[in-house]
Structure 1
Amino acid sequence: MMAKVEPSEYLFGTEYEVRVINGFTNNSSVPLVIWCSNEEADLGGRALQEHDDFSWKMKTHFWSSNLMKCTMKWDQTRKKFDAFKASRDAHRCGPFKMCTWLVTEHGFFFSNDLVNWYKDFEW
Protein backbone atom coordinates (compact mmCIF):
# COMPACT_ATOMS: atom_id res chain seq x y z
CA MET A 1 0.00 0.00 0.00
CA MET A 2 1.44 3.36 -1.03
CA ALA A 3 1.56 6.10 1.55
CA LYS A 4 -0.50 9.13 0.67
CA VAL A 5 1.62 12.22 0.18
CA GLU A 6 -0.03 15.35 1.48
CA PRO A 7 0.32 18.51 -0.69
CA SER A 8 2.13 20.31 2.16
CA GLU A 9 4.71 17.49 2.33
CA TYR A 10 5.30 17.85 -1.39
CA LEU A 11 5.81 21.63 -1.19
CA PHE A 12 7.61 21.95 2.13
CA GLY A 13 9.29 18.56 2.26
CA THR A 14 9.25 15.59 4.55
CA GLU A 15 12.19 14.88 6.81
CA TYR A 16 13.58 11.36 7.16
CA GLU A 17 16.32 10.06 9.42
CA VAL A 18 18.75 7.81 7.58
CA ARG A 19 21.16 5.69 9.60
CA VAL A 20 23.85 3.19 8.62
CA ILE A 21 25.13 0.81 11.31
CA ASN A 22 28.29 -1.29 11.17
CA GLY A 23 26.89 -4.71 12.03
CA PHE A 24 30.01 -6.73 11.38
CA THR A 25 30.70 -9.24 14.13
CA ASN A 26 34.48 -9.27 13.93
CA ASN A 27 36.10 -6.37 12.12
CA SER A 28 37.87 -4.61 14.95
CA SER A 29 41.03 -4.29 12.86
CA VAL A 30 39.31 -3.29 9.59
CA PRO A 31 36.73 -0.49 9.84
CA LEU A 32 33.74 -0.17 7.57
CA VAL A 33 34.27 3.01 5.57
CA ILE A 34 31.26 4.97 4.32
CA TRP A 35 31.12 8.00 2.01
CA CYS A 36 27.77 9.59 1.12
CA SER A 37 26.79 12.38 -1.27
CA ASN A 38 24.18 13.65 -3.68
CA GLU A 39 23.78 16.64 -6.02
CA GLU A 40 23.10 19.02 -3.13
CA ALA A 41 25.48 17.80 -0.40
CA ASP A 42 28.60 15.80 0.31
CA LEU A 43 28.38 14.25 3.77
CA GLY A 44 31.99 13.13 3.62
CA GLY A 45 33.51 9.89 4.76
CA ARG A 46 33.58 8.05 8.06
CA ALA A 47 35.37 4.97 9.35
CA LEU A 48 32.93 2.95 11.44
CA GLN A 49 34.21 0.45 13.97
CA GLU A 50 32.00 -2.40 15.19
CA HIS A 51 28.52 -1.15 16.18
CA ASP A 52 29.33 2.47 15.22
CA ASP A 53 26.78 4.29 13.12
CA PHE A 54 26.51 7.27 10.82
CA SER A 55 23.23 9.14 10.48
CA TRP A 56 21.80 12.22 8.85
CA LYS A 57 18.48 13.91 8.14
CA MET A 58 17.16 13.87 4.60
CA LYS A 59 14.47 16.35 3.62
CA THR A 60 12.61 15.64 0.41
CA HIS A 61 11.57 18.45 -1.93
CA PHE A 62 10.05 18.47 -5.37
CA TRP A 63 13.03 20.47 -6.68
CA SER A 64 15.80 18.18 -5.36
CA SER A 65 17.04 14.75 -6.39
CA ASN A 66 15.65 13.11 -3.21
CA LEU A 67 18.48 10.61 -3.44
CA MET A 68 21.55 9.94 -1.28
CA LYS A 69 24.14 7.54 -2.62
CA CYS A 70 26.77 5.94 -0.42
CA THR A 71 29.89 3.96 -1.13
CA MET A 72 30.83 1.32 1.41
CA LYS A 73 34.32 -0.13 1.68
CA TRP A 74 35.25 -3.11 3.80
CA ASP A 75 38.83 -4.32 3.42
CA GLN A 76 39.20 -4.67 -0.39
CA THR A 77 35.46 -4.88 -1.12
CA ARG A 78 33.43 -1.88 -2.31
CA LYS A 79 29.71 -1.44 -2.85
CA LYS A 80 27.71 1.59 -3.98
CA PHE A 81 24.08 1.78 -2.94
CA ASP A 82 21.18 4.19 -2.62
CA ALA A 83 21.00 4.85 1.12
CA PHE A 84 17.90 6.95 0.55
CA LYS A 85 15.74 7.09 -2.56
CA ALA A 86 12.43 8.88 -2.07
CA SER A 87 10.55 6.87 -4.70
CA ARG A 88 11.52 3.64 -2.90
CA ASP A 89 11.71 4.75 0.74
CA ALA A 90 8.87 7.27 1.22
CA HIS A 91 6.50 4.47 2.20
CA ARG A 92 8.86 1.85 3.60
CA CYS A 93 10.51 4.11 6.19
CA GLY A 94 7.26 3.92 8.12
CA PRO A 95 5.24 6.47 10.07
CA PHE A 96 8.29 7.63 12.04
CA LYS A 97 10.26 8.31 8.82
CA MET A 98 13.16 6.16 10.05
CA CYS A 99 15.32 4.44 7.44
CA THR A 100 18.01 2.26 9.00
CA TRP A 101 20.63 0.10 7.31
CA LEU A 102 22.59 -2.65 9.07
CA VAL A 103 25.65 -3.58 7.05
CA THR A 104 27.17 -6.98 7.84
CA GLU A 105 29.48 -9.48 6.21
CA HIS A 106 26.27 -11.14 4.91
CA GLY A 107 24.85 -8.09 3.16
CA PHE A 108 22.80 -4.92 3.59
CA PHE A 109 19.66 -5.13 5.76
CA PHE A 110 16.91 -2.52 6.02
CA SER A 111 14.57 -1.70 8.93
CA ASN A 112 12.13 1.05 9.87
CA ASP A 113 11.75 -0.10 13.48
CA LEU A 114 15.15 -1.56 14.53
CA VAL A 115 13.42 -4.90 15.20
CA ASN A 116 12.50 -6.35 11.83
CA TRP A 117 15.38 -6.48 9.34
CA TYR A 118 15.02 -7.33 5.65
CA LYS A 119 17.95 -8.16 3.44
CA ASP A 120 18.06 -5.83 0.45
CA PHE A 121 21.24 -7.00 -1.24
CA GLU A 122 24.63 -8.69 -1.03
CA TRP A 123 28.07 -7.14 -1.08
Structure 2
Amino acid sequence: MRTQNILLLMIVLSLALYTTFISYVELIYFGYKDYDIRIINGFTNNSSMPLIVWCSSQDNGDMGGRALQEHDDYSWTVKTGFYMRSCPFVCTVKWDKKRKKFEAFGVGVDRDRCGACGQCFWLVKEDGFYFSNDGVNWIKDFPWM
Protein backbone atom coordinates (compact mmCIF):
# COMPACT_ATOMS: atom_id res chain seq x y z
CA MET A 1 0.00 0.00 0.00
CA ARG A 2 2.80 2.43 0.88
CA THR A 3 4.53 1.77 -2.48
CA GLN A 4 1.30 2.57 -4.34
CA ASN A 5 0.94 5.87 -2.46
CA ILE A 6 4.51 6.84 -3.28
CA LEU A 7 3.98 5.89 -6.94
CA LEU A 8 0.75 7.91 -7.07
CA LEU A 9 2.47 10.90 -5.46
CA MET A 10 5.31 10.70 -8.00
CA ILE A 11 2.81 10.62 -10.88
CA VAL A 12 0.92 13.65 -9.53
CA LEU A 13 4.14 15.61 -8.98
CA SER A 14 5.39 14.67 -12.45
CA LEU A 15 2.15 15.90 -14.05
CA ALA A 16 2.31 19.15 -12.07
CA LEU A 17 5.92 19.74 -13.12
CA TYR A 18 5.11 18.88 -16.74
CA THR A 19 2.15 21.29 -16.80
CA THR A 20 4.27 24.07 -15.28
CA PHE A 21 7.07 23.43 -17.76
CA ILE A 22 4.71 23.47 -20.78
CA SER A 23 3.13 26.75 -19.60
CA TYR A 24 6.58 28.30 -19.22
CA VAL A 25 7.67 27.11 -22.68
CA GLU A 26 4.49 28.51 -24.26
CA LEU A 27 5.04 31.86 -22.52
CA ILE A 28 8.70 32.16 -23.50
CA TYR A 29 8.92 30.33 -26.81
CA PHE A 30 5.62 31.30 -28.39
CA GLY A 31 5.77 34.86 -27.12
CA TYR A 32 2.57 35.29 -25.14
CA LYS A 33 3.53 38.78 -24.19
CA ASP A 34 2.63 42.45 -24.43
CA TYR A 35 5.13 44.83 -26.02
CA ASP A 36 5.04 48.60 -25.54
CA ILE A 37 6.28 50.46 -28.61
CA ARG A 38 7.11 54.14 -28.32
CA ILE A 39 8.50 56.60 -30.86
CA ILE A 40 9.86 59.78 -29.26
CA ASN A 41 10.75 63.11 -30.84
CA GLY A 42 14.31 63.60 -29.66
CA PHE A 43 15.07 66.71 -31.68
CA THR A 44 16.64 69.49 -29.65
CA ASN A 45 15.08 72.47 -31.42
CA ASN A 46 12.21 71.81 -33.80
CA SER A 47 9.41 73.75 -32.21
CA SER A 48 8.49 75.32 -35.54
CA MET A 49 8.37 72.01 -37.43
CA PRO A 50 7.00 68.86 -35.77
CA LEU A 51 8.18 65.32 -36.43
CA ILE A 52 5.45 63.48 -38.36
CA VAL A 53 5.01 59.77 -37.56
CA TRP A 54 2.59 57.49 -39.42
CA CYS A 55 2.34 53.75 -38.60
CA SER A 56 0.49 50.70 -39.85
CA SER A 57 0.52 46.90 -39.89
CA GLN A 58 -1.33 44.24 -41.86
CA ASP A 59 -3.04 43.00 -38.68
CA ASN A 60 -4.10 46.42 -37.39
CA GLY A 61 -4.33 48.45 -40.58
CA ASP A 62 -3.56 52.13 -40.70
CA MET A 63 -3.00 53.38 -37.16
CA GLY A 64 -2.96 57.01 -38.22
CA GLY A 65 -0.38 59.69 -37.84
CA ARG A 66 0.81 62.10 -35.22
CA ALA A 67 2.65 65.42 -35.31
CA LEU A 68 5.15 65.27 -32.45
CA GLN A 69 6.69 68.35 -30.87
CA GLU A 70 9.90 68.08 -28.85
CA HIS A 71 9.80 65.13 -26.40
CA ASP A 72 6.29 64.09 -27.49
CA ASP A 73 5.75 60.42 -28.27
CA TYR A 74 3.56 58.10 -30.29
CA SER A 75 2.96 54.83 -28.46
CA TRP A 76 0.90 51.65 -28.63
CA THR A 77 0.84 48.11 -27.21
CA VAL A 78 1.17 44.90 -29.22
CA LYS A 79 -0.23 41.66 -27.83
CA THR A 80 1.49 38.59 -29.22
CA GLY A 81 0.82 34.92 -28.86
CA PHE A 82 0.88 31.54 -30.56
CA TYR A 83 -2.62 31.89 -32.01
CA MET A 84 -2.18 35.49 -33.15
CA ARG A 85 -0.50 36.68 -36.30
CA SER A 86 1.91 39.42 -35.52
CA CYS A 87 2.75 41.31 -38.67
CA PRO A 88 5.44 43.97 -38.41
CA PHE A 89 4.52 47.55 -37.57
CA VAL A 90 6.02 49.84 -40.19
CA CYS A 91 6.28 53.57 -39.60
CA THR A 92 7.11 56.46 -41.86
CA VAL A 93 8.80 59.38 -40.14
CA LYS A 94 9.09 62.79 -41.78
CA TRP A 95 10.88 65.93 -40.72
CA ASP A 96 11.43 68.86 -43.08
CA LYS A 97 12.72 67.23 -46.30
CA LYS A 98 13.87 64.05 -44.56
CA ARG A 99 11.72 60.94 -44.75
CA LYS A 100 12.42 57.44 -43.43
CA LYS A 101 10.34 54.26 -43.44
CA PHE A 102 11.32 51.63 -40.87
CA GLU A 103 10.04 48.60 -38.99
CA ALA A 104 9.19 49.88 -35.51
CA PHE A 105 8.27 46.41 -34.23
CA GLY A 106 8.46 42.85 -35.53
CA VAL A 107 8.11 39.82 -33.26
CA GLY A 108 10.98 37.90 -34.87
CA VAL A 109 13.54 40.65 -34.32
CA ASP A 110 12.16 42.39 -31.27
CA ARG A 111 11.19 39.41 -29.06
CA ASP A 112 14.71 39.45 -27.60
CA ARG A 113 15.73 43.02 -28.32
CA CYS A 114 12.86 44.59 -26.35
CA GLY A 115 13.98 42.90 -23.14
CA ALA A 116 12.13 41.08 -20.40
CA CYS A 117 9.74 44.01 -19.87
CA GLY A 118 8.76 44.18 -23.55
CA GLN A 119 9.73 47.82 -24.05
CA CYS A 120 10.69 48.91 -27.58
CA PHE A 121 11.59 52.59 -27.60
CA TRP A 122 12.74 54.65 -30.58
CA LEU A 123 14.29 58.08 -30.17
CA VAL A 124 14.38 60.06 -33.42
CA LYS A 125 17.12 62.70 -33.50
CA GLU A 126 18.74 64.95 -36.08
CA ASP A 127 21.42 62.33 -36.85
CA GLY A 128 19.28 59.19 -36.87
CA PHE A 129 17.18 56.63 -35.03
CA TYR A 130 18.15 55.27 -31.62
CA PHE A 131 16.77 52.14 -29.92
CA SER A 132 16.36 51.35 -26.21
CA ASN A 133 14.59 48.68 -24.20
CA ASP A 134 14.66 50.69 -20.97
CA GLY A 135 14.28 54.34 -22.05
CA VAL A 136 17.67 55.20 -20.55
CA ASN A 137 20.40 53.47 -22.57
CA TRP A 138 20.17 54.38 -26.26
CA ILE A 139 22.04 52.78 -29.18
CA LYS A 140 22.03 54.34 -32.66
CA ASP A 141 20.33 51.83 -34.93
CA PHE A 142 20.44 53.67 -38.28
CA PRO A 143 20.79 57.15 -39.84
CA TRP A 144 18.11 59.03 -41.75
CA MET A 145 19.52 58.10 -45.14
TM-score (norm 2): 0.76
**Identity within the alignment, %:** 56
**Within 1, Cα distance between the matches of 2:71 and 2:27?**
37
- In structure 1, the gaps of 5 or more residues are none
More helix by share: 2
Equivalent in the alignment of 1:95: 116
1:68-107 matches, cutoff 5 A = 68-107=89-128
Residue 8 (structure 1) shift: 4.0
SS of 1:21's partner is: strand
Higher Rg of the two aligned structures: 2
Q: 2:50 matched to 1:50?
A: no
Cα distance, 1:6 vs. partner? 2.8
Give the alignment partner of residue 132 of structure 2, picking from 86, 111, 114: 111
> Is the 8 Å Cα contact of residues 60 and 66 (structure 1) preserved in structure 2?
no
| Matched pairs, number | 118
Gaps of 5+ in 2: 1-23
SS of the counterpart of 1:114?
coil
Q: Which has the higher contact order (CA 8 A, sep 6+)?
A: 1
Question: 1:32-85 CA distances to partner (integer Å, 9 max, x unpaired)?
Answer: 000000002121000000110010001123441331000000011110000001
Using the TM superposition, name which of 94-103 and 53-62 deviates more: 53-62
> Would you identify which runs of 4 or more consecutive aligned residues in structure 1 move more than 3 Å?
none
Counterpart-to-counterpart distance in 1, 2:127 and 2:116: 28
SS of structure 2 residue aligned to 1:6: helix
The code of the aligned residue for 1:52 comes to D
CA RMSD of aligned residues (A): 1.6
* Cα distance in 1, alignment partners of residues 120 and 86 from structure 2: 17
- The answer to whether the aligner puts 1:65 opposite 2:95 as a matched pair is no
